[in-house]
Amino acid sequence: MSSIPEVKIGLEIHVQLTSLKTKLFCPTPSNYRGEEPNTYVCPVCLGLPGTLPVVNKKAIEYAIALALALNCEINDKLVFVRKHYFYPDLPKNYQISQYDGPGFSSIARNGYVKIFVDGKSKIVRIRRINIEEDPGKIHYIGSIETSPYSLVDYNRSGIALLEIVTEPDIESPKEARAFLDKLIAILEYLGITDTSREGAFRVDANISVAGGSRVEIKNIGSIKEVEKALTYEIIRQKNIVGKGGEVKRETRHWDSSKGVTVPLRSKEFEEDYRYFPDPDLPPMIITKTFIESVAKSLPELPDSRIERFIKQYELDEYRATVLVLIKWLADFFEECAKLYNNYKKLADLLITDFLRWVKEFNLSPRELKVQSIHIVKLLQYLDKGVISIKMLKESLPRIVKEGIDIDKLVAEGYTKLDDEIVIEKIVREVMAENPKAVKDALENPKAVNYLVGMVMKKTRGRADPNKTVEIIKRLLDEIRKKS
């Protein structure tokens, strides 16, 4: 019997529909970021008495687009409910949301997302998608636990959110990451949100080990933090179970600066919210025609693009997935692929060194100066033997950062050194400078590598390795004959 505790993770993601011009139930503009607190507000999103919400139709369209992309069943009736709780960021004392229960329904249910982890595909089921409004934002002084007072800003109040809830099908922090990467890619392809904006993508994670109580970690801000918080929480819960204790059902907060989760409050239950249908928003019928028109307007989505990459470019699922989930990189790949047909080699360069330098220089895809032709030429020169792989790797950072043409580097003398007379001259220098290494190489053939390394160092990797080895062996033979 295996004694490894089983890990179950379910995610609840809140996504702001940042592509909408206005809030969910009022005409207040939604581009509040960077503005003075409490200036992007109106009587509706401030929850003043006597105001009435009017639903933003575009938000419904976006929700349906996401529901289709996540393979969900879409409800034909759109029902909004009031979720009651008292909190300073919620001026009405209820949040307009949706509820998946008797007499109510979420806009969409029963979907799935395919993820690819460690060479295997896996399905993560989607339980539901709700449309709801964002609350305001509470500002703490310092940390949430020690803040002497808090301030509230209602600019965010009433911004349209989609709440996406998965089934607890995720079994590791790595799978959680793969799921979130995929979800973010789908949202980006749909163009309904820019998840890179502060607070536009927030994750709550439910986690339990060995069938114990579920602990919810609230409001984690990035995928990297989700992975860290889950890793920490798994260890914490396993330690409790290991000592014969019981994990408490509660809500915890991820303190990213300390790298720990801390208790926030004991978990409230669904029935505490006193859901009831919002009388201000009577049920709306979503027609088949409307759903079909949204379906027709959908762009190519990650799953079909991955499939196309596998067929059209003969890539394996791993390479196709890595490329497609980074949309701009997949676009760049396709641009290069028009001019260069060793697709596997091209994909490898892009998903390894190329991507690493883009991240290293912190370049946003929009400010990239490098063009497809630069990368294509680089690979062509490598194929023709004009440059070595080492030189390709060395010149790549400049090409990525400055968008410089490899022809310019070659003209500056940046080519492979394969002139035997020149190499021999350098080999002789190296041997003269390293008498002990020469002695070792005479006795042990493996020690030749050290001399090759010294030649490479002197030529900054430009010497042709095969010719260098040949020349060293010939010169060593000459020494043997003499002695």
**Which stretches of the chain bind Mn ion, using CB under 5 A?**
163
Contacts 24+ apart (CB under 8 A), 477-483: 479/438, 479/442, 480/442
Minimum distance from residue 150 beta carbon to Mn ion (Å): 21
Q: CA-CA distance, 475 to 423, in Å (whole number)?
A: 12
Comparing CB distances to Mn ion, the nearer of 216 and 303 is 216
The two three-digit tokens of residue 439, written as one number: 């002695």
* CB of residue 130 to Mn ion, shortest distance in Å: 7
Residue 422: closest CA among 464, 385, 388: 464
Task: Give the span between the Cα atoms of 196 and 218, in whole angstroms.
Answer: 19
CB of 65 to Mn ion, least distance (A): 19
Q: Would you say 26 or 165 has its CB closer to Mn ion?
A: 165
| Minimum CB–partner distance for residue 26 and Mn ion (Å) | 19
The smaller minimum CB distance to Mn ion, of residues 277 and 397, is found at 277
Beta bridge partners of 251: 216, 265
- Give min distance, CB of 163 to Mn ion, in A: 4
Asked whether 89 and 137 are in contact (CB, 8 A), the reply is yes
Question: Least distance in Å: CB of 131 to Mn ion?
Answer: 10
Q: How far is the CB of 258 from Mn ion (least distance, A)?
A: 26
Task: State which residue, 90 or 376, has the beta carbon closest to Mn ion.
Answer: 90
Report in angstroms how near the CB of residue 402 gets to Mn ion at its nearest: 45
- Toward Mn ion, which CB reaches closer, 132 or 303? 132
Closest residue to Mn ion, based on beta-carbon distance: 163
With respect to Mn ion, which residue has the nearer C-beta, 193 or 459?
193
Is-contact 167 12, C-beta < 8 A? no
Report strand pairing: 160-166 vs 7-16: antiparallel
CB of 328 to Mn ion, least distance (A): 30
Q: Is the Cβ of residue 63 or residue 399 nearer to Mn ion in the bound state?
A: 63
Return the number of the residue (163 or 175) whose C-beta is nearest Mn ion. Answer: 163
As measured in angstroms, the least distance from the Cβ of 133 to Mn ion is: 9
Comparison of 12 and 188: residue with beta carbon closer to Mn ion = 12
Of 95 and 321, CB closest to Mn ion? 95
Q: Which is nearer to Mn ion, 7 or 15 (CB)?
A: 15
